């Protein structure tokens, strides 16, 4: 939104005569100023302003994406986080454009102040929000407030830049707006592409935001202060340069201390025994616990593996499916921690296993960390195992069903209640996976607790043409781990109230439910217990099951 129309330059800087314009009624001589540097090379000056707009737009979009990514890491449900950040940001940008109308009388001075404030706020935003999440728990309110402030500052840029463009060379407002918005949109494109492919892999969210803030301060405040140095008086100009230098110093100090801040925050969240912590392109992974156990594996701030309890879910996912027919070729979707894979390899008939997991950091951790490697039985090092680094849905979409089929397909993936995503339990996902089943092949999935999502998952499997049988294993996945600092009391209370973990076994024909003789007896399962849980859940099946989850349907 442009709030300053084309017209004669405002008082304070003259590009034609070297002195401020005088009112027609004023008869008092005005003191002469030295000639403007913009007069000699207006094209270069204009190009410099457009370049500043380009860089500032790129930085603004990076701040936006940093907030979206951090919210998805810490809270899950990326759709909600993206919607909140984008809607608040766009609203705040409009508000910032309106507020900027009051400051177009001195556009260079106020643009420098806006960019210094934006560089400091955006640069520190990730560390500030991560610390707020770790120590106060009021992340959502802080995110909305910080997003609103950043949006106001970004929205104030365009009116001020438009005024600066017109001060260099008066021209039609439409032409000036076209050039300015072209620089702005191309900058946003570059920032949007640089974030996932350059900034996030090279620096991570925290340091990436700090580097972006430094670039913002130099390209925004410094360039404009140098170019329009005649506008502010000597004292104001010195103060503005001092503010820019202070912002860069604060960002550098934050970069130097970011590691200590993250370690302190993680200690507050996960305790002092953090064995491994990393932000990857896909998630935050934290492994805690002493070398002798018990281990805890957190993914995006949620407890995913509790060492003393993980075998219950791993056994329940794997053994019934492996016992219902041939099991030479196995496809494991997810399962990069190697725990479900450990149970697969206990069956004597297994000849090959393909593990498809999007995040290479998790299998690498399962191989290199002594505690997690011991817990998984070093299953990822077995010569029968091959790991494909790919998103399971994308991998299923790209594989040719005529080229390979599997006797058993296991989906060791988070349920919608845990991650907020539905794509791994959608009708489309199940349909793609069903194509890879050999004649008589079986498909086993995690279905969460014995709640509505169990029947939604079953509806998706049945919509893919499979017959299903539900079953459960007693005991929660994290029951033996006492609540840690990272677990909210309400979440742990809900998990403790859950009577067990529910699963679904599916195939083209009604699958039998039992245990195979070619594997050691599971610790948490018996054939009679499986059949009893199946009978109990079948009796609880609603007369009108909920609709299947789809990629385009409601959550």
* Catalytic residue ranges: 412
Proportion of the chain in helix, strand, coil states, percent, rounded to 5: 55, 15, 30
Q: Catalogue the long-range contacts made by 252-259 (C-beta closer than 8 Å, 24 or more residues apart).
A: 252/214, 254/123, 254/124, 254/127, 254/210, 255/207, 255/210, 255/211, 258/127, 258/206, 258/207, 258/210
3-state secondary structure of 246: helix
Which of 21, 227, 200, 210 has the alpha carbon at shortest distance from 108?
Answer: 227
Furthest C-alpha separation in the chain: 107
Rounded Cα gap, residues 249 and 258, in angstroms = 14
Which residues make Cβ contacts (< 8 Å) with residue 252, sequence separation at least 6?
214
| Token duo for residue 62 | 């990076």
User: Within 10 Å of residue 202's Cβ, how many Cβ atoms?
Assistant: 11
| Token duo for residue 311 | 């075998």
Tell me, letter by letter, the H, E, C secondary structure of 528-543: HHHHHHHHHHHHHCCC
Rounded Cα gap, residues 82 and 85, in angstroms = 5
């Amino acid at each position: 939104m442009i709030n300053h129309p084309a017209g004669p330059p405002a008082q304070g800087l003259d590009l034609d005569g070297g002195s401020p314009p005088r009112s027609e009624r004023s008869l008092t001589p005005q003191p002469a100023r030295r000639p403007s540097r913009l007069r000699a090379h207006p094209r270069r000056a204009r190009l410099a302003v457009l370049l500043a707009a380009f860089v500032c737009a790129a930085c603004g979009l990076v701040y936006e994406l940093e907030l979206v990514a951090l919210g998805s890491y810490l809270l899950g449900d990326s759709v909600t986080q993206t919607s909140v950040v984008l809607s608040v940001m766009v609203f705040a940008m409009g508000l910032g454009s309106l507020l900027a109308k009051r400051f177009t009388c001195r556009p260079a001075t106020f643009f420098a102040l806006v960019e210094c404030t934006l560089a400091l706020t955006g640069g520190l935003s990730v560390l500030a929000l991560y610390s707020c999440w770790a120590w106060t728990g009021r992340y959502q309110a802080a995110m909305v407030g910080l997003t609103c402030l950043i949006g106001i500052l970004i929205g104030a840029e365009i009116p001020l830049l438009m005024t600066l463009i017109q001060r260099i060379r008066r021209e039609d407002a439409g032409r000036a707006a076209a050039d300015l918005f072209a620089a702005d949109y191309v900058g946003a494109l570059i920032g949007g592409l640089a974030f996932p492919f350059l900034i996030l892999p090279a620096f991570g969210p925290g340091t990436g935001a700090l580097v972006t803030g430094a670039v913002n301060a130099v390209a925004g405040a410094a360039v404009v202060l140098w170019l329009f140095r005649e506008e502010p008086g000597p004292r104001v100009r010195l103060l503005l340069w001092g503010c820019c230098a202070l912002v860069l110093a604060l960002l550098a100090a934050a970069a130097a201390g970011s590691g200590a801040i993250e370690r302190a925050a993680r200690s507050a969240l996960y305790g002092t025994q953090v064995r491994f912590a990393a932000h990857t392109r896909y998630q935050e992974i934290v492994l805690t616990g002493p070398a002798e156990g018990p281990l805890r594996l957190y993914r995006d701030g949620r407890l995913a593996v509790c060492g003393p309890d993980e075998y219950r879910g791993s056994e329940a996912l794997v053994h019934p499916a492996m016992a219902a027919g041939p099991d030479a070729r196995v496809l494991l979707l997810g399962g990069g921690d190697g725990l479900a894979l450990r149970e697969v390899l206990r069956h004597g008939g297994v000849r090959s296993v393909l593990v498809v997991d999007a995040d290479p950091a998790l299998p690498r951790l399962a191989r290199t960390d002594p505690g997690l490697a011991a817990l998984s039985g070093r299953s990822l090092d077995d010569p029968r195992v091959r790991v494909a680094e790919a998103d399971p849905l994308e991998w299923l979409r790209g594989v040719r069903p005529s080229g390979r089929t599997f006797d058993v397909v296991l989906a060791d993936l988070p349920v919608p209640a845990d991650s907020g995503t539905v794509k791994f339990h959608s009708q489309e996902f199940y349909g793609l996976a069903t194509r890879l089943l050999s004649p008589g092949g079986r498909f086993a999935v995690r279905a969460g607790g014995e709640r509505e999502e169990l029947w939604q998952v079953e509806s998706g499997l049945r919509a893919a043409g499979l017959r299903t049988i539900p079953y459960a294993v007693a005991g929660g996945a994290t029951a033996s781990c006492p609540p840690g600092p990272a677990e909210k009391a309400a979440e742990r209370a809900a998990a403790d109230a859950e009577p067990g973990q529910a699963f679904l076994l599916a195939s083209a024909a009604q699958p039998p439910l039992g245990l195979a003789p070619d594997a050691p007896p599971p610790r948490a399962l018996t054939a009679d217990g499986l059949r009893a849980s199946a009978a109990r859940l079948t009796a609880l099946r609603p007369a009108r099951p909920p609709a299947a989850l789809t990629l385009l349907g409601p959550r």
